[in-house]
Amino acid sequence: MKRALILTLIVSFGSDTAIAQTSPPPPKAIPRTTDDKPDFTGFWDHAFITSTARMEGAKSLVASDAEAKALADGMVKWASSDAAGVIIDPDFFANTITDLSRVGDEWRTSLITTPADGVQHYTPTGKT
């Protein structure tokens, strides 16, 4: 009886060790086109309220959780006001989008990352 108990304990604790040592599954292969470029065909979706240029009140490209919430709340308030007029995407209201875009673990205050000020500087030709 004592042997059976010891054997049961060894098998029980040994199986946890064996399970912990199994490697994760290999990453899935990225689909490729015939010329070996990544295949981006299909349906893609995103939902965020970050504007192309740096949002008013943003201090930098990356925002803390508190800054991101304040900026997003301000954008939602503005978008719901008469000041926004007709320039707001109807999906903004249909999908109740309330967050900034997130890249990795960072909240982003603009889609423009270069130049550092987050402003799209037009050339003289682009201004006409």
Which carries the bigger pLDDT value, residue 11 or residue 40? 40
Q: Please list, residue by residue across 9-46, b when 16 or more beta carbons sit within 10 angstroms of its beta carbon and e when fewer do.
A: eeeeeeeeeeeeeeeeeeeeeeeeeeeeeeeeeeeeee
- pLDDT of res. 17: 56
Which carries the bigger pLDDT value, residue 59 or residue 15? 59
- pLDDT of res. 6: 63
- Band (105; pLDDT cuts 50, 70, 90): very high
Query: How confident is the prediction for the chain on average, in pLDDT?
Result: 81
Amino acid at 16: D
Cβ-in-10-Å burial (0-12, 13-18, 19+) of 105 comes to exposed
Determine how β-strand 62-63 pairs with β-strand 101-103. unpaired
Which carries the bigger pLDDT value, residue 72 or residue 10? 72
Does residue 16 have a pLDDT over 60? Answer: no
- Between CA 63 and CA 33 the distance in angstroms is 36
pTM of the model: 0.58
Kindly state the percentage of the chain with pLDDT values over 90: 26
pLDDT digits (tens, 9 = 90+) for 60-103: 999 999 999 999 999 888 888 888 777 777 777 767 788 999 99
